[in-house]
Amino acid sequence: MKKKVLMLGWEFPPVINGGLGVACLGLSKALSEFVELTVILPKSDPHFIVENVELIGLNNIDLKKILKASKESFTTQYDTFAETSYVDIDIDPYLHISETIGQETNRHTESTTKSTTIADVETEDLMIEKFLHVFRDGELYGQDVIQKVIYYSKYVLRLAAEKDFDIIYAHDWMTFLAGLELKARMNKPLVLHVHALDYDRGGPESKGWIFDLEKYAMENADLILPVSEYTASVIANHYHIDPAKITPVHNGADEVNVYKVEKGFPEKLVLFLGRVTGQKGPEFFLEVASKVYENYPKVRFVVAGTGDRLKRMIESGAYKEIGHKFHFTGFLDKEKVHHLLAMTDVYCMPSVSEPFGLSALEAAQFGIPMVISKQSGVAEVLSGALSADYWDTDLMADHILALLKSKRLANQVVKMSNNDLKNLSWKDAAKKVNSAFDTLLESKTVK
């Protein structure tokens, strides 16, 4: 008999097609072959069907009826995390926020088991009305994202009360609170799949509400599945989590229709693809581009994406007098991304901290030689890619110049990447996840 897994997700295509959503969809499809899978999301498309997977979107059900009928109290085990939930902060799916929420950086996580009592039905009704619209019409992120995370945990607790499952499987910090609530209430093992961390968005000095939640959840989880050895080392060394319960599982890649497009200009094209945020190293890409242009003028650079560093990058490019060599596309959907990849000569990913880097796999699928940061998970699986420390702009520029000038080297890098891709499927990733589930259930070491 298949084990029953309750998966908690935040992003899911076609509602959101970011890296987290793509990974959750890929894993869900592949994992459904091995387990009975139910996925609870804040928002899902009611017309989007995944075979053998029960998809539940809070936006598609009568939450008010369910909450009213439930015997569960709105008070939960970890309501102290809600003490900062009414402070507005602005957050993107992966953008770091300056988490100066009161004195929250000094809060001790051991206090999280306190409860906050909601005394009367009228107050509960008011809260239900206030937050139900979020999962129907509102955005999943934004200034009140922490409020959404907290209320998602409360709704999930009630929805899951009548369900039978063996494992709680939570993806990234937005679902960790719900996972903690379910484990405390139902005494089921908690597995956390870590796609990105607050450390990646804000660096080693970043510590606040989200960091506290990540750390507390990982301390109390039974198993942690980071997307790379790199992320595993961050979890062990920066969050001080026992390495014995950390099992890295690399991402897979969806099959794509690969094609080539002739450029409308004679120069070579070097591509930066991703969010233009500090984590992705756009300033380092600009420095690399400047050094490449000095030695190879017949080149253009494309920055595909948007983020808080975009304006600064455009201004810096003009200051360095290479702005005429840059094209900024803004956000591109998947079809336009593929069109851009089809005409790219070199892909560059100078990320400061990259848990994995799914866009690099896409570039590899399109037969693009690449230069990637050593501070990335994908560097572990694309052995043929040329790599450098994100701060070593001289070496990164030298790698790009070598690929632009030598077709033989470029073909060699592409050939090695093609061999690497053979072992990077979502089915391979799902097998590793399922094996980790089996080991966990056999050990019966639920805290």
Our separate counts of H helices and E strands in the chain read 15, 12
Chain segment 16-42, per-residue pLDDT in tens: 878 899 999 999 999 999 999 999 999
% of the chain surpassing 90 pLDDT: 68
| Percent of residues, the chain, with pLDDT higher than 70 | 83
For the whole model, what pTM was predicted?
0.88
Q: What is the mean pLDDT of residues 140-155?
A: 86
Whether domain 268-421 has CATH 3.40.50.2000: the reply is yes
The label of the residue with tokens 């040329």 reads 386
pLDDT digits (tens, 9 = 90+) for 356-366: 999 999 999 99
pLDDT classification of 429: cutoffs 50, 70, 90: very high
208/106 Cα distance (integer angstroms): 8
Where exactly are the structural domains of the chain?
4-252+427-443, 268-421
Q: Is residue 89 over pLDDT 60?
A: no
Structural contact between residues 59 and 10, judged by C-beta atoms closer than 8 angstroms: no
| b/e sequence 141-171, b meaning 16+ C-beta within 10 Å | beebbbbbbbbbbbbbbbbbeeeebbbbbbb
* Chain mean pLDDT for the chain: 86
> One fold for both 4-252+427-443 and 268-421?
yes
**Taking 80 as the threshold, does the pLDDT of residue 103 lie above it?**
no
Mean pLDDT on 424-437: 97
CATH code of the domain occupying 4-252+427-443: 3.40.50.2000
Question: Among positive and negative, which fits the CA dihedral 54, 253, 376, 391?
Answer: negative
